[in-house]
Amino acid sequence: MIIGKVIGNVVSTMKAEKLQGKKLLIVQPLDLISIQPDGKPVIAIDTVGSGKGEVVMVVSGSSARQTIVTNGTPVDAAIIGIIDQVEIEGKLTFEKS
């Protein structure tokens, strides 16, 4: 599982049948400690109603296909939570504004 920031969305009129009606977002992975960009953006299916600018939890691989929304869908990444805050060793490194 990683954390990332939603930086955009993907619109696709032609896609696999099981993806019809599903929201696809672009997520920029973040370093867990510094909360700074870390790696290349990924496309993830949204299972929690997140939006642009939110910091989210993302699972990938077979775990991405194990939610009610994604079961049986051809996805490799899924947003499974919206983060309110991150605390590491007693220090608050991120808090949703």
Per-residue pLDDT, 57: 98
CA distances from 78 to 33, 63, 88, 90 (A): 22, 8, 24, 29
pTM, two decimal places: 0.92
| pLDDT, average across residues 24-50 | 97
| pLDDT, average across residues 19-33 | 95
Per-residue pLDDT, 72: 87
pLDDT digits (tens, 9 = 90+) for 56-79: 999 999 999 988 888 888 999 999
Per-residue pLDDT, 67: 87
Share of the chain above pLDDT 90, in %: 82
Sign of CA dihedral 22, 26, 31, 34: negative
Domain 2-95 fold is: OB fold (Dihydrolipoamide Acetyltransferase, E2P) (2.40.50)
| pLDDT, average across residues 19-47 | 96
d(CA 97, CA 4): 16
Per-residue pLDDT, 41: 99
Question: In the beta sheet, which residues pair with residue 10?
Answer: 24
| pLDDT, average across residues 28-41 | 97
